[in-house]
């Protein structure tokens, strides 16, 4: 039996619209993925650059040494650059960021201000991850803080990451357990002059130190955009295939 295709104007128009939208959105998601690939390459390049040495000399720059003013403003020009800061921790202002799991265990990120040597400014340091006590929800873990002048090495980040806020946000105060923390909130609560970025402290875990510094890699969302692109292209292909199949079915019924 010879196949016969029944051409219908309205279904054709609807199919063209759906296919065009699917292809356009698929192309858009593909471009977004390509942009994120470029961003990931830029971040890798920053990670390989010489570390920034945060000094107290204002805007003076000398080799890889910069003053604190060079890092103020938008975080993105120096985000994910390595950094080295000398000064002292402010041990009276620890804040614990809740709902930060690691290796399948519940825990906190420990955030603490760090006073820059020779300056009246501070930088908020994410010292690492600490496990939660499964027997007592509100109990914070024990940890040690270096006394006196020390040097912290880490990565510049724009924020500590956001999690879903459960209930009313707790006030920022010494020893507080909070869901999320902004530098501006910490500066306002503590009265300290804080740089507008954070430092993810890096380095090996010392013997007996419960603080873990195994930071997750930044998620640029490349896989997500690629997945969305595949879905939109698949929608366009399915719409075209559906039009062809229903056209042949309608043609067969006319013959019968």
| CB-count exposure of residue 26 (10 Å: 0-12, 13-18, 19+) | buried
Distance (Å, whole) CA 45 – CA 81: 9
Residue ranges of the domains in the chain?
81-201
Q: Of 193, 161, 191, which is closest to residue 178 (Cα–Cα)?
A: 161
Q: What is the pLDDT of residues 32-65, one digit of tens each?
A: 888 878 767 776 777 677 778 876 443 333 334 4
Answer yes or no: is pLDDT of 145 > 50.
yes
Structure token pair of residue 203: 């380095």
The residue behind tokens 């209930």 is 167
Section 186-199 average pLDDT:
93
202 vs 54, more confident: 202
Task: Please answer whether residues 242 and 22 qualify as being in contact, where contact means their C-beta atoms are separated by less than 8 angstroms.
Answer: no
Q: What is the pLDDT of residues 223-243, one digit of tens each?
A: 888 899 999 999 999 988 888
Task: Please answer whether residues 108 and 100 qualify as being in contact, where contact means their C-beta atoms are separated by less than 8 angstroms.
Answer: yes
């Amino acid at each position: 039996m010879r196949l016969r295709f029944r051409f219908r104007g309205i279904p054709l128009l609807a199919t063209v619209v759906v296919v065009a939208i699917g292809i356009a959105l698929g192309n858009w998601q593909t471009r977004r993925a390509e942009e994120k690939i470029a961003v990931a390459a830029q971040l890798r390049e920053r990670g390989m650059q010489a570390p920034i040495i945060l000094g107290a000399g204002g805007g003076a720059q000398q080799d890889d040494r910069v003053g604190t003013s060079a890092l103020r403003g938008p975080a993105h020009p120096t985000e994910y650059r390595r950094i080295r800061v000398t000064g002292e921790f402010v041990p009276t202002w620890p804040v614990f960021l809740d709902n930060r799991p690691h290796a399948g265990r519940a825990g906190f990120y420990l955030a603490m201000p760090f006073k820059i040597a020779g300056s009246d400014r501070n930088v908020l340091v994410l010292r690492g991850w600490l496990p939660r006590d499964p027997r007592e929800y509100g109990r914070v873990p024990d940890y040690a803080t270096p006394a006196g002048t020390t040097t912290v090495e880490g990565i510049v980040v724009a924020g500590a990451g956001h999690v879903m806020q459960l209930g009313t946000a707790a006030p920022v105060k010494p020893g507080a357990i909070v869901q999320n923390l902004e530098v501006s909130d910490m500066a306002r609560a503590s009265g300290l002059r804080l740089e507008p970025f954070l430092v993810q402290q890096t380095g090996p875990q010392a013997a007996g130190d419960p603080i873990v510094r195994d930071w997750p890699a930044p998620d640029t969302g490349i896989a997500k955009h690629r997945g969305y692109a595949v879905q939109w292209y698949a929608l366009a292909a399915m719409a075209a295939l559906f039009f062809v199949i229903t056209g042949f079915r309608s043609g067969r019924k006319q013959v019968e």
